[in-house]
Amino acid sequence: MDHDILTSDTPARLFFRWKNVLRFRIGIADCSGLAQLPNAEDFPDEFPVDEFGIGHLLGEVLGLAALKLFRVSGTSFPGEWSFDPVGQWLHALACVDRMTDTGRLSVVYRVIDLGLSAPNRLHVLNARLDALSNDDLHRMAMEAVQGERMKPDVFEGLME
């Protein structure tokens, strides 16, 4: 590898750093709870490109991953108990990283909006979430840190 990439925060180096921390482990046997999602404490302080809103774009992907994880795990994780598991999830999602919080919570808003406006379409959203693999989520997150919108948009056509 080029020495420059390893010693400075060039766009290439930042891309490499993000690539290594945006790992999704949903459904992996030796991971449980939120450990199946990327840890925001490991995130670099910058993105490979300098565009407004990248944190929000990444937050949307992380929000989708949390929905998928929530779908796989149910309202609580094995060995954990709470009076309000959904509230516990929302609190965990909202207090992870200010840079991506609004994006994660916007996904929650979209699900609530869909559930209230078109509940008969929730099964389509569930099928789309189920179809996403950890590799898909990684690709989507890497595209987000480069300023690209979420593809596929799992909400596309559901609110029409």
Evaluate if residue 103 carries a pLDDT over 60.
Answer: yes
List, for residues 107-153, the tens digit of each pLDDT value.
888 999 999 999 999 999 999 999 999 999 999 999 999 999 988 99
Q: How many CB atoms lie within 10 A of CB 90?
A: 15
pLDDT digits (tens, 9 = 90+) for 32-72: 777 888 988 888 888 888 888 888 899 999 989 988 988 76
Q: What pTM, to 2 d.p., does this model score?
A: 0.82
Integer Cα distance of 35 and 33 in angstroms: 5
CA–CA dist 154, 12 (Å, integer) = 29
Alpha carbon distance 155, 120 (integer Å): 14
User: Is residue 157 over pLDDT 60?
Assistant: yes
The full set of domain ranges for the chain reads 3-145
CA-based nearest residue to 23, from 11, 10, 40: 40
Lowest mean pLDDT among 15-24, 82-91, 99-108, 115-124: 82-91
